[in-house]
């Protein structure tokens, strides 16, 4: 056994395409992905929404829970869950995606949670707007950022910390940030941040701090581990990096036909096949086009209009499947002119891979 416990994770192991370590599988067993067949539904079934928890789930008592507003506020205060639940409530379907989604497709892969496509989901979140609570506590003129701290605590690369993130005051005004206590019409589940979490619509999931205990007004930019050491686009490991924020344009299809148990390759009967899926982009930017590649030809899918600003859009395409072996792909374009790449964009830690999904299909 090693003498120095920090030694064990001071350098991330080298990865090999298609081969994974025990630690990566441990993370995959803990952090559950969406089941792509449920992309047929507007709202991801409770329990199917992806989960990425850095540390252990704190099991908190909602009756005793307090949210503290402290730091450089003129009027620091704290609130109970009952008080938060008495504030004006809003329910909003929000598509959330993990910043690490698609990591397994980036080569060489960063040694971390090996998501393929499944770290995305859409839930109906109920809570109250954050901005009025920030106004109520009056940030001092010198305040530049507001930090959010969760009750989840542990080590990453030898650094112990509570999970925390920050937003600028401008971002809080621009984004429809919610403090959330219910999901799909039921009280928030422990593993999703009960009794209280943040939802930052349109941003990758790391911004939506769970098990929220503290909101702090800062006169210097927040330097918490999860803000400055990770969740940044880096070309090399030692780059300072660019903060990851808005979700990149992306689409996924329900894999057609039926699966093989272990490989998940798909078997489809020849004839008419309804291909269906979802597409989304960050900051609520609408999707304007989805294309599906069949046998080398990109076909335009039928795209439903956006129903809710921050929720994914449904698309479909009827395919006359003829016997053979296919790699189906889909890609979306958003109103800002962003289009999914066909190959994974490079990032040292495999973040935000929005390359077109590939689905291996046999038509019989």
Which residues are at the interface with a copy of itself (CB under 8 A)?
1-2, 5, 8-9, 12, 18-30, 32-33, 35, 37-38, 40-41, 45-49, 51, 53-57, 59, 104, 111-112, 114-116, 118, 153-156, 160, 186, 189-192, 255, 258-265, 267, 325, 327, 362
Q: Which is nearer to a copy of itself, 269 or 336 (CB)?
A: 269
Distances (CA, A) of 171 to 144, 157, 203, 246: 11, 29, 11, 12
Q: Which is nearer to a copy of itself, 37 or 83 (CB)?
A: 37
Q: Which is nearer to a copy of itself, 168 or 191 (CB)?
A: 191
3-state secondary structure of 74: coil
354-357: which pairs have CB atoms within 8 A and are 24 or more residues apart?
354/102, 354/248, 354/249, 354/250, 355/102, 355/105, 356/251, 356/293, 356/329, 356/330, 356/331, 357/117, 357/251, 357/252, 357/253, 357/329, 357/330
**What is the closest distance, in whole angstroms, from the C-beta atom of residue 364 to a copy of itself in the complex?**
8
Whether 320 contacts 73, CB under 8 Å: no
Q: Which two structure tokens, joined as six digits, stand for 100? A: 């690490």
**What is the closest distance, in whole angstroms, from the C-beta atom of residue 250 to a copy of itself in the complex?**
17
Q: What is the DSSP string of 331-348?
A: EEEETTS-B--SSPPP-T
Q: Which residues lie below 8 Å from residue 262, measured CB to CB, with a gap of 6+?
A: none
**What is the closest distance, in whole angstroms, from the C-beta atom of residue 260 to a copy of itself in the complex?**
4
Q: Which two structure tokens, joined as six digits, stand for 292? A: 């599906």
Q: Which is nearer to a copy of itself, 78 or 325 (CB)?
A: 325
Q: Which is nearer to a copy of itself, 172 or 206 (CB)?
A: 206
Beta bridge partners of 360: 327
Q: Which two structure tokens, joined as six digits, stand for 265? A: 């390759």
H or E element, residue 165: strand 159-168
Q: Which is nearer to a copy of itself, 104 or 175 (CB)?
A: 104
Q: Which is nearer to a copy of itself, 53 or 338 (CB)?
A: 53
**What is the closest distance, in whole angstroms, from the C-beta atom of residue 141 to a copy of itself in the complex?**
37
**What is the closest distance, in whole angstroms, from the C-beta atom of residue 136 to a copy of itself in the complex?**
32
**What is the closest distance, in whole angstroms, from the C-beta atom of residue 4 to a copy of itself in the complex?**
10
3-state secondary structure of 168: strand
Q: Which is nearer to a copy of itself, 46 or 336 (CB)?
A: 46
Q: Which is nearer to a copy of itself, 349 or 352 (CB)?
A: 349
Q: Which is nearer to a copy of itself, 238 or 261 (CB)?
A: 261
**What is the closest distance, in whole angstroms, from the C-beta atom of residue 63 to a copy of itself in the complex?**
16
Whether 176 contacts 93, CB under 8 Å: no
**What is the closest distance, in whole angstroms, from the C-beta atom of residue 189 to a copy of itself in the complex?**
5
**What is the closest distance, in whole angstroms, from the C-beta atom of residue 354 to a copy of itself in the complex?**
17
Torsion of CA 307, 312, 318, 324, to 10 degrees: 180
Torsion of CA 199, 204, 210, 215, to 10 degrees: -70
Q: Which two structure tokens, joined as six digits, stand for 98? A: 């993990």
Q: Which two structure tokens, joined as six digits, stand for 50? A: 């992806």
**What is the closest distance, in whole angstroms, from the C-beta atom of residue 186 to a copy of itself in the complex?**
7
Q: Which two structure tokens, joined as six digits, stand for 249? A: 């344009």
């Amino acid at each position: 056994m090693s003498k120095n416990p920090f030694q064990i994770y001071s350098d991330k192991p080298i990865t090999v395409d298609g081969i994974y370590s025990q630690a990566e599988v441990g993370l995959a067993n803990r952090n559950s992905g969406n089941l792509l067949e449920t992309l047929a539904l507007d709202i991801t079934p409770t329990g199917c929404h992806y989960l990425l928890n850095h540390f252990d789930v704190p099991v908190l008592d909602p009756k005793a829970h307090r949210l503290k507003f402290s730091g450089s506020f003129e009027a620091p205060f704290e609130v109970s869950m009952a008080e938060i639940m008495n504030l004006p409530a809003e329910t909003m379907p929000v598509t959330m995606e993990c910043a690490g989604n698609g990591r397994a497709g980036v080569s060489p892969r960063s040694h971390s949670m090996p998501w393929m496509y499944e770290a995305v989901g859409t839930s109906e979140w109920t809570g109250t707007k954050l901005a009025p609570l920030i106004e109520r506590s009056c940030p001092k003129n010198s305040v530049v950022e507001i930090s959010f701290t969760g009750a989840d605590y542990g080590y990453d690369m030898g650094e112990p910390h509570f999970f925390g993130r920050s937003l600028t005051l401008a971002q809080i005004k621009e984004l429809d940030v919610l403090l959330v206590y219910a999901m799909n019409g039921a009280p928030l589940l422990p593993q999703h941040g009960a009794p209280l979490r943040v939802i930052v619509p349109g941003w990758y999931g790391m911004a939506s701090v769970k098990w929220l205990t503290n909101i702090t007004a800062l006169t210097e930019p927040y330097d918490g581990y999860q803000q400055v050491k990770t969740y940044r686009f880096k070309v090399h490991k030692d780059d300072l990096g660019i903060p990851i924020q808005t979700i990149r344009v992306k689409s996924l299809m329900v894999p057609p036909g039926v699966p093989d148990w272990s490989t998940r390759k798909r078997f489809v009967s020849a004839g008419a096949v309804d291909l269906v899926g979802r597409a989304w982009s960050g900051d609520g930017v609408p999707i304007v086009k989805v294309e599906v590649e069949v046998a080398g030809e990109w076909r335009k899918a039928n795209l439903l209009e956006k129903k809710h600003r921050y929720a994914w859009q449904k698309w479909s395409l009827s395919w006359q499947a003829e016997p053979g072996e296919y790699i189906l792909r889909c890609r979306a374009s958003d109103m800002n002119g962003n289009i999914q790449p066909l190959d994974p964009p490079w990032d040292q830690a495999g973040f935000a891979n929005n390359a077109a999904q590939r689905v291996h299909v046999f038509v019989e």
